[in-house]
Amino acid sequence: MNSLLLHPTNWKDYSLVDSGNGKKLERFGNFLFIRPEPQALWSPRLSLKEWEKSSGTFLSSSNPLNEDATGKWSLKKHLPLKWEMGYDNIKFFATPTPFRHLGFFPDQSPHWLWAAKKIKTAINYSNKPFSPKVLNLFGYSGLASLHAALYGASVTHVDASKKAINFAFENRNLSSFQNLPIKFITDDTIKFVKREIRRENKYDAIILDPPKYGRGPNGEKWELFNHLPILLKLIPLILTPKPIFIVLNSYAIRSSHLTLNYALNETMREFSGKVESGELSVVEDQKNPRQINTAIFARWENNQLN
């Protein structure tokens, strides 16, 4: 089984500038940030003076090498509350969050580009007007939804957090995508999918990026290793007879991408297609760059549309 190692490309507004000593130095727009990075077992290449140009540092409340550690940001006064960024004709806001990220995940952009290609192929393959129905579960701030809609999909975006949905609305408006077919729904993912099964609603493609842990709008508990198998068993029941693709991504990187590969193969065993899997990463923007793995994924695609 071949393993893919994907990383962001063609970004003007993001780069991994340097890494080392359990930290990474990243550029988001015009601002530099320092975040913990357990995999950076090496030494930084840039001087301390360069690192001190950062506008913010995430301070873990416990062991900074613990990926699940909580903490807070130490931010410079000149940093705005949020600022505009862009990628491949979509616009969105960046802002430091309590979860150590900046409101989006640039390492997922290879999935956006891959999905866009599959959407365009399916549209061209159809002999009638066709807008593939894409369901984005755990959609967060909406970048995957915006990108898919930009390339011709009709998107249903679901997240359990009202704050995340509001963030997605802001990004939609910033991109001036109000007229694109994107439906935003605040709901518990499993409850939503079960209702879609009862309604007999079907989707041509599904994007899933479940967290390790989470809470639904009514306090529903989400634990990835307990609830993802339940969700995956429901997925075939909301797929059209000839679905286009499924993307399954996870930041629970203590697992192997093989875990998701086997799970998605089982989910899609009744459909004609193939599964590939691997890891997402970010790569330093310098000579002889070092690479930091960030997430694992598995993707299924319909062979008949290639």
Domain spans, the chain: 3-94, 106-305
Instruction: Of 66-75, 105-114, 242-251, give the lowest mean pLDDT range.
Output: 66-75
Write out the CATH class of domain 3-94: mainly beta
Percent residues over pLDDT 70 in the chain: 96
Q: Report the 10 Å Cβ neighbour count for 75.
A: 16
Q: What's residue 291's pLDDT?
A: 95
- Nearest CA to 260 out of 286, 287, 235 is that of 235
Q: What's residue 214's pLDDT?
A: 85
Residue 43 pLDDT > 90, yes or no? yes
Q: What's residue 99's pLDDT?
A: 87
Residue-averaged pLDDT of the chain: 93
Contact indicator for 24, 300 with CB cutoff of 8 Å: no
Query: Average pLDDT of 133-157?
Result: 97
Q: What's residue 63's pLDDT?
A: 61
Q: What's residue 303's pLDDT?
A: 82
Query: Average pLDDT of 271-283?
Result: 95
Residue 253 pLDDT > 70, yes or no? no
Q: At 264, is the pLDDT very low, low, confident or very high (cuts 50, 70, 90)? A: very high
Q: Does domain 106-305 have CATH number 1.10.238.10?
A: no
Q: At 213, is the pLDDT very low, low, confident or very high (cuts 50, 70, 90)? A: confident
Q: The whole model's pTM is what?
A: 0.94
Residues 6+ apart with CB under 8 A from 199: none
Rounded CA separation 46/296 (Å): 29
Over residues 161-188, the pLDDT tens digits come to: 999 999 999 999 999 999 999 999 999 9
Residue 29 pLDDT > 60, yes or no? yes
Of the two residues 255 and 19, the one the predictor is more confident about is: 19
